[in-house]
A and B are shown apart, each in its own frame.
Chain A
């Protein structure tokens, strides 16, 4: 297998690792965005909380999520190592004047990536840690099944615990459903009531936007996919979808919740 380690430790091989892990993270970004759209629902967090239970109990998704953590670490470590090697290649004496003919994002991928990594750590401390290891209260929702309407909600006492994250039951007539579920949504609302946290999330999303505006296209170039037939499309998707649309929707989430709570 020496050819494989040789390949992966070459400059192009290290870039291949960046490209493949990066593209995997891009697919995660879409799933994460679509799932998190539940925060825009006006159902006091029922859909969001049910979705959270699904994402943290489904064995397939649990397996993928461990792969995802590994990919994030691999992307970060390989990226920082490349940044170190690349910086070293310039030598101890740099240019006095350096008017580089390239985009700002393309020159600052390592800095943007570092901001993103810090963002991910804070983001996981805010929600992933408290959901899995912290104290998240339960909430009871009663839903009218004939109309699909939320009848009432009740925050369970602090010390209320279930053996599972969610329990559902029907009433005798089968017209209403009671759901008792771990209320991560209350965490989301509480976290985004702090304007400083909202600003930090906007900073993270801005870093994401610039990182993607260069990174998406760059990954395809690194794996050798460059052709007049499809490269403009790849660059367009990288800029408009991953660089603008997805970050804007992500940015809207903390902003929307902040103002909805403040109103």
Chain B
């Protein structure tokens, strides 16, 4: 078969008018899909057709379309961001599928991420977790001269790795417990590893974990599905670090 030939696909898409109505799957047949299209472009084409037909287009989150904003969030054929490893939905291309495939597209499923419409979920729970402690309170100013604040190379690397989290929520979506531990751990790790994060290190761990729990995310059971599905491949080491940070903070912080 010609690899450049256009594809024909059957899509089972979750449609839901709003949070207070029940949703369901609607089947769409799409033809003339180029293997070079991104997954979102394929949906754009379908939406254009739906608009022409006078139907409601499929609502989905998207913004940068270059894999760094964390907006796109689709559960594709049973996996967040689809079948590829270390890739967000916007960077998934139709060449990863075969003509004739049936593709199931669902929103993230978690009590803490209620569906707003179709494939769009409300992920402000993540914002509230960050607002509870995922920051450095003082202005750290402009970039310093190199090495004026010594940071170990390993710490810089690990902090950078953790900071690459785009907050898309694939970890929650992939976890059988809808746990947000990988997201929270990425932020706690990033700041715990750098000198600027030290002052608020303990209170940060305490507050972010408390906020995570109050949002209704589940507990971590170390299945590793989050890290396996993370488009930035954040490591499970960050979760162990957060367990250390949190338990250590609880044992030693001044908050009695």
Contact = CB atoms under 8 A, between A and B. Distances in A.
Nearest to A225: B240
Given A101-B229, A102-B228, A93 B109 contact: yes
Given A12-B209, A96-B12, A99-B79, A91 B110 contact: yes
Interface string A76-102: 000000100111111101111111111
Given A3-B256, A97-B104, A101-B229, A10 B213 contact: yes
A101 B241 contact: no
B177 A86 contact: yes
Contact of B106 (A11, A96, A225): A96
Contacts of B221: 15, 82, 86, 106, 109, 218
Given A86-B177, A89-B217, A101 B237 contact: no
A7 interface: yes
Interface residues of B, number: 49
Interface stretch (B38-46, B138-146, B193-201, B244-252): B244-252
Contacts, number: 142
A221 B112 contact: no
Nearest to A109: B221
Contacts of A10: 209-210, 213, 246
B177 A7 contact: no
Interface of B: 12, 23, 25, 75, 77-79, 104, 106, 109-112, 174, 176-179, 181, 209-210, 212-213, 216-225, 228-229, 236-237, 239-244, 246-248, 250, 255-256
23 contacts: A3-B255, A11-B181, A11-B217, A11-B219, A11-B220, A12-B246, A15-B220, A15-B243, A16-B247, A87-B218, A88-B218, A89-B110, A89-B111, A89-B178, A91-B111, A95-B78, A97-B77, A97-B104, A101-B225, A102-B176, A221-B240, A226-B237, A226-B241
Given A89-B110, A100-B223, 7 more contacts: A2-B256, A12-B247, A89-B177, A95-B109, A217-B222, A224-B240, A226-B241
Interface of A: 2-3, 6-7, 10-16, 82, 85-91, 93-103, 106-107, 109, 214, 217-218, 221-226
